Amino acid sequence: MIIDMPDTTTNNVSKRLAHLRDEGGAVALGRVLTLVVIAEEADIEAAVAAANEASHEHPCRVVVVAPRPTKSDTAHLDAQIRVGGDAGASEVVVLRTAGPLLEHTDTLVMPLLLPDAPIVVWWPQGGPDQPTAHPVGAMAQRRITDTTTAEDPEGMLGRLAESFRPGDTDLAWARVTLWRGLIAAAVEQPPYEPVTAVTIEGQAQHTSLNLLAAWLGAKLRCPATVVRTSGSEAITRVVLERKSGSIVLHRPDGRVVTITQPGKPERRMALPIRSLSEALIEELRRLDPDEIYGEVLTKGLQRIETTTSRKTA
């Protein structure tokens, strides 16, 4: 069910939500967090779809804040409430606003926050260089950016490293979780030799390459190089050099990874590129600070080298 509330206030929206719960028997006690999404008009539907998918694992109230399609210098708010089949396992409130309300999003969303529940803020398109300086970011326990969608992905990653605070995270980091598990499993098999160098290849502007290389370089204490290729999707190849021969994980099609290493049969397994909702679900699984991400971002990035982009064969 979708309910439009033009020219309204968030207090009125909150009252309408309470009325809907009383009328339909729905309760907010099962909601584990409030997810505040700071979006642009063009990103609303994709963000809501991803949040709805995530809500099946993490029931929440989703509050989307976006500028109105028609610009205005006066305070104005159009709201939309989505419940039932249009909201997954959550309640979705879309706030399209203009004027000074855009500068005070904390005050705007405050009446809609679930009491005694954690606050998570997510920027589907990039995000601010200093998430804790954002009005909602300052009061959130977790702040999720997405450098893969930024205009300058690597530049934003560097700026996030400079402004990092516990609770910050990035969907580019969630996208390498499965890679980290596969690589750890491969390295921990005999022969137990140290890795002398690491190379990560993939999409030219995909910051997951930087974060995976930074993690491996710090974890294995070896040089880590990022090779950016055109015509590829996300991460396509990881090479771990050892004295007896290299471990190679190759995923040219974005679906299946082939693992080869000396003295062992070739292995193939499914490793599809993670969808937006899968990455979001990953980040909502923890509400405490991700210390490993913090170390990778603030210390590991300094260790990696990036080569000139080249064309894939």
- Of residues 98 and 22, which shows the higher confidence score? 98
Residue with tokens 């709805």, as numbered in its chain: 52
Tokens 């991700």 identify what position? 290
Nearest-angstrom CA–CA distance, 270 and 255: 6
The CA distance from 140 to 35, in Å, is 9
Residues belonging to the chain: 313
CA distance 198 to 242: 10
Instruction: Specify the DSSP class assigned to residue 298.
Output: H
pLDDT 10s digits, 33-68: 999 999 999 999 999 999 999 999 999 999 999 998
pLDDT digits (tens, 9 = 90+) for 257-287: 999 999 899 999 999 999 999 999 999 998 9
Cα–Cα distance for residue pair 92/247, rounded to 1 Å: 46
> What is d(CA 30, CA 33) in angstroms, rounded to the nearest whole number?
9
Q: Is the pLDDT of residue 78 over 70?
A: yes
Residue 7 has pLDDT above 50, yes or no: yes
- Contact of 88 with 62, CB cutoff 8 Å: no
Asked if the model's pLDDT at residue 188 lies above 60, the reply is yes
For residues 145 and 123, what is the distance between their CA atoms, to the nearest angstrom?
A: 5
Cα angle: 46, vertex 49, 55; to 5 degrees: 140
Q: In the structure, what pLDDT confidence band is assigned to residue 23 with cuts at 50, 70 and 90?
A: confident
Question: At residue 278, what are phi and psi to the nearest 5 degrees?
Answer: -65, -40
pTM of the model: 0.92
> Chain-centre distance of CA 249, in angstroms?
24
The stretch 133-162 carries a mean pLDDT of: 96
Query: Hey, CA dihedral for 177, 178, 179, 184, is it positive or negative?
Result: positive
Is-contact 106 135, C-beta < 8 A? yes
Q: How confident is the model at residue 19 (pLDDT cuts 50, 70, 90)?
A: confident
Cα–Cα distance, 73 to 101 (Å, whole number): 10
Provide the pLDDT confidence category of residue 312 given band limits of 50, 70 and 90. very low
Question: What's the alpha-carbon Rg for the chain, to the nearest Å?
Answer: 22
What pLDDT, on the 0 to 100 scale, is given for residue 44? 96
Tokens coding 80: 């939309």
From residue 24, alpha-carbon distances to 2, 10, 238 in Å are: 14, 21, 52
Query: Cβ distance 93 to 81 under 8 Å?
Result: yes
Q: Which residues contact 262 (CB under 8 A, 6 or more apart)?
A: 244, 245, 246
For 96-113, what is each residue's pLDDT tens digit? 998 788 888 999 999 999
